[in-house]
Structure 1
């Protein structure tokens, strides 16, 4: 094998190990911390400092600013976070992502095989799932450094290769080209941590100097924003605004810092001079350059956050100007809450599925009074609208089931598996409620087509039962959403009352039939409407029963 081929394989192999290691470490940490991520985001307050801390902390934990910004875009799109809260999280994520470069700057490569061995053994043989995930993260951590070490060895020839030597000299002389180069490379790889790691590896072998490396890092910070932009395609206006806030933060910050490249101190750009003063070793003599690059990356993002945090309202105004218009409510058959990008974090994915089912339930619940409207006011009879809403619930049911099924391969814990199984049943309960509402509107349509007359007492009883069904739906859903057993007990009592009403009202109608107060057609349709309302009650109360007994469907 020729020397050129050896270098090529070493470069590509090291790069693949590095990328896979980073992905494995991030994936393991995300699954390990998934439930905590959801709890932290749920506890987020209006304080922008806490938002920044949350963004930085979560990114530091999962080692992926892209994952956190995509998560923020998804939550803003679903209405779970306001735009301003989302922006504060993104600002913090830019600080948190610098942890990877700081870790790379440590001389950990010699321990890479230790992490691979220990992590791999834990992942394969540990008895508990959390240990397995921690092992997978450690395994990825070791692969990251093994790949980085392999790449560093392969990059040594670049120092004397004329083309690359001239290219990096050009970057040193024209930092704007370096910014563009770093931006394009990260656009392609969609990971600033990966490209900054490559920059550190190139610097370690002397292929690039500090003057070329720092603008590359600036460009890499811009390039990483492509992930959030891609995630916002087809999303709500506020989600697109959040993606643009990430881009504008890094673009404006880079413009500001590049201006300092033309202010010099002791013969060097002032920002580079400052980094050299606060970091051990003389970087201009090639000493400790990896740590200097990591510090340049960290300080760039920290200073940017300190500048933009007081200007958060101005940044929100700017992105609202870039993406104008009023943010519309997400309606129709498209899922409002579930996002397939979170399928590898079961706790968050299950939370999204739960919210989507509650969204479906609000649609199904609204169908019941709409289906009955024609009995009380012929002008309000609208079969087509009820049919449309029923089609929406059918399509959402299919989306939720597909999403839930996709989670089965992500390694659910016991409690997550119980939650998952219950949601699979509840989504079907909601679809049944919509079906029964559709049955009712067809019965009402039949009444109107045949000019069926109902007594005032019959209509009053339907009103009473429909009101109780709506009350039970409200109580059951609230008990489910708030995990409130007192409300669940109230829902059970209303459900019992509805069961009794079905028997009483059917007997009453039989008496009215005997007394000629109602005719035979009215009796048959009345009984069918009452039966359908009672069936809706049976399915709605399942939400309360799930809170009472999570093992209901086991």
Structure 2
């Protein structure tokens, strides 16, 4: 037998009808589903003198889809009105009060969690009737838990599916918003609001903000503005949940499935998943509402929820804990709205849960900052710091006699669900604009809590942030930035290789260290890109990613040839830079061309400068002509004198390495000029 929870509450009510007194007992019972309540449903009839009245006819009829009348009975002459006497499933029974003036029946609760309603009619001796309605709640604890947890799980699954799919279809808009974001606080606020409105998840935007700060793509103060904006954007979810469209949850899922299953366009498939997610959100709420609604008839259960939620400390703590556990503020708001609509908690109690929800949502940023840099941790601390202050002073406002905020919320709508949604919206919008001018002050406090050195903001600390992989449109921007940084290091390696060949300094070991750094960057980018490939990618990202991988391979080969230059130096002595003759002059010309090509390709990658890419192609043609001219010259010299010059061979190899470097740089330039699905980078991100 499954473990169950049962509470029996015996109630007694007295009514006077035409000189007769009817005492009613047994209402508001609770018990295990499928069991017989230990307390019977009874009526006692008394006359005006208080003496019991025997022989009064009383009927008991089950007026719900579950439950049945069962023995033992109190009274005499029982007659079955409805049901099956063989199976014992009696739905209606007529009795006569006995010598003690009592008529009563036992109630067997239905097998499912829910209300069992019995209607009783007392036919008084004077011909009048007195009606009594009994309500008994039967429930199975495990079934109750599974249905609530299951409904919440479906809700969270819907939120996750909708949010992730919206990130896929709206990722390009997110990237554009983040690129256009400036140091202006209001711009950051609007960016956070619009981005959250696009992806319908403040947690996702918060994680992205922490990831961008950790990757060096966003400043700490910019992230605070974005997070404040995300608090506004997330209120859209609450307003959406307040619409009474749970009855259409399954049709919405069906529509989304058709779009997802039968569409050949990836974008349409993602939109199908968005619609499926929306339907699952409402389906989850409907399941929770279905199991919570019957509980409002239980005075003890309702008293528990009311006492719990009306206690500010307990209410805020509960909202915080639930949000931390499910890591979704929208889920907690949805559950709070369902409890309010079911009559289990008041709007005032819901407000305390909403305050706790706003504190609990900071756990996402804290988890995202684990393992990140100090700048990312400051963003998480700033988020938590703001939310704690908001919840504290708002709790004080709610404690003001007369509760003006509650009255304001109640004026906004007659719907309890809408009142909770409006309270959530007012709270977040007001506080976001309140803290917007205080961002510098919050930043200073966070710097004191998590001190950071200026060196931690250096460009060399840019990392590939794992937390951004779930937002491919943002993750690929980071790959592009890291590719630019790799190109810078490769250019430094090449220039060091040229200097080594020309002058003997720096030595080959230092060049090898730089080349190893380029190799490490190639490996890290490739691993990161392979993880990104495993995500659901839009067509745009799936086309851009292979081009980027080819680009980093070409850049890595460029640094390899720098090492070859250093090795060629070992075969000669003297300073080529000041040497006279055709070959030394050709070497210096090749070195100058490569310097110009690497500079141009770096600029082209960083800003998508088409003229710089075209310059690379022009320089490549010049380098090819130089290579051919030098080879012809050396062949003629060799045939004329018949002696191979070691220095000449080394210079010939050096120019050949330059030509190969030029080929790889040309590959990169051609991908950029050909579209290459490369969007460049922007230092304003």
Q: Taking structure 1 as the reference length, what is the TM-score of the superposition?
A: 0.88
SS at match of 1:60: helix
Separation of aligned partners in 1, 2:636 and 2:162: 72
Retained in 2: the 8 A contact 1:513–1:523? no
Q: Deviations over 1:347-375 (max 9, x none)?
A: 33332222221111111111112223344
Retained in 2: the 8 A contact 1:478–1:484? yes
Separation of aligned partners in 2, 1:442 and 1:247: 56
- Identify the residue that residue 396 of structure 2 maps to in structure 1: 259
Separation of aligned partners in 1, 2:639 and 2:376: 62
- Identify the residue that residue 330 of structure 2 maps to in structure 1: 193
Q: Deviations over 1:107-166 (max 9, x none)?
A: 110111121111111111124332222221111101111111101222346554958854
Over 3 Å counting, the alpha-carbon distance change for 1:51 and 1:551 in structure 2 is closer
Over 3 Å counting, the alpha-carbon distance change for 1:413 and 1:22 in structure 2 is closer
Q: Which structure has the highest helix share of the two? A: 1
Q: How does 1:166-315 map to 2 (within 5 A)?
A: 166=304, 168-173=306-311, 175-265=312-402, 269-277=403-411, 279-281=412-414, 288-315=415-442
Separation of aligned partners in 2, 1:121 and 1:413: 19
- Identify the residue that residue 10 of structure 2 maps to in structure 1: none
Q: Say whether 1:366 aligns with 2:492.
A: yes
Separation of aligned partners in 2, 1:404 and 1:382: 34
1:91 Cα deviation after fit? 0.8
Separation of aligned partners in 2, 1:230 and 1:373: 47
- Identify the residue that residue 284 of structure 1 maps to in structure 2: none
Q: Taking structure 2 as the reference length, what is the TM-score of the superposition?
A: 0.72
Task: Report which of the two structures shows the higher radius of gyration computed on alpha carbons.
Answer: 2
Separation of aligned partners in 1, 2:336 and 2:507: 64
Question: Structure 1 residues 138-147 or 366-375, which shifts more?
Answer: 366-375
Separation of aligned partners in 2, 1:453 and 1:40: 53
Over 3 Å counting, the alpha-carbon distance change for 1:331 and 1:384 in structure 2 is farther
Q: 1:317 aligns with which of 422, 440, 444?
A: 444
Separation of aligned partners in 2, 1:341 and 1:232: 9
- Identify the residue that residue 24 of structure 1 maps to in structure 2: 161
Separation of aligned partners in 2, 1:404 and 1:100: 32
Q: 1:356 aligns with which of 482, 485, 504?
A: 482
Q: Deviations over 1:2-32 (max 9, x none)?
A: 6333223322221211111111111121111
Q: Say whether 1:140 aligns with 2:277.
A: yes
Q: Say whether 1:425 aligns with 2:550.
A: yes
Retained in 1: the 8 A contact 2:503–2:575? no
Separation of aligned partners in 2, 1:493 and 1:477: 16
Q: Which structure has the highest strand share of the two? A: 2
Over 3 Å counting, the alpha-carbon distance change for 1:54 and 1:331 in structure 2 is closer
1:519 Cα deviation after fit? 8.4
Q: Deviations over 1:496-517 (max 9, x none)?
A: 122223334456677899999x
Separation of aligned partners in 2, 1:322 and 1:511: 73
Over 3 Å counting, the alpha-carbon distance change for 1:330 and 1:177 in structure 2 is farther
Over 3 Å counting, the alpha-carbon distance change for 1:453 and 1:92 in structure 2 is closer
- What is the aligned-residue RMSD (CA, Å)? 2.9
SS at match of 1:264: coil
Q: Say whether 1:396 aligns with 2:521.
A: yes
Separation of aligned partners in 2, 1:321 and 1:382: 44
Retained in 2: the 8 A contact 1:453–1:522? no
SS at match of 2:418: helix
1:546 Cα deviation after fit? 0.6
Separation of aligned partners in 2, 1:511 and 1:375: 24
- Identify the residue that residue 535 of structure 1 maps to in structure 2: 660
SS at match of 1:74: helix
Separation of aligned partners in 1, 2:391 and 2:510: 52
Q: Work out the number of aligned pairs and report it.
A: 535
Considering Cα pairs closer than 8 Å and 6+ residues apart, tell me whether 1 or 2 has the greater RCO: 1
Q: Deviations over 1:52-106 (max 9, x none)?
A: 1121111112110011111122222333323222221111101111111111111
